[in-house]
Amino acid sequence: MKSRITKDVVLTLNRFDMNKTKENNEAVELRPHHSACLRFFVGKGYSEDFVAHTAALIKRLSNEGCLVKITNSCDELCKGCPNRTGNKCLSQEKVEKLDTKWSKALKLEIGKTYYWTDIKANFDNTIREKTLCDNCSDCNWFSLCLEIFDSLR
Ligand code: SF4
With a 6 Å cutoff on the Cβ, whether 83 touches ligand 1 is yes
Residue pLDDT, tens place only, 88-109: 999 999 999 999 999 999 999 9
Give the distance (Å) from ligand 1 centre to CA of residue 17. Answer: 34
Q: Which of 74, 100, 139 to mutate to test the pocket of ligand 1 (most atoms within 8 A of CB)?
A: 74
pLDDT of residue 25: 67
57: CA distance to ligand 1 center in Å? 14
Sites in the chain below the pLDDT cut of 70 = 1-25
The number of the ligand 1 atom at minimal distance from the alpha carbon of 81 is 4
pLDDT of residue 92: 96
What predicted TM-score, i.e. pTM, was given to this entire model? 0.83
**Burial readout 80-103 (b: 16 or more C-beta within 10 A, e: otherwise):** bbeebeeeebeeeeebbebbebbb
Instruction: Compute φ and ψ for 124, nearest 5 degrees.
Output: -65, -30
Which residue owns the Cα nearest ligand 1 atom 2?
89
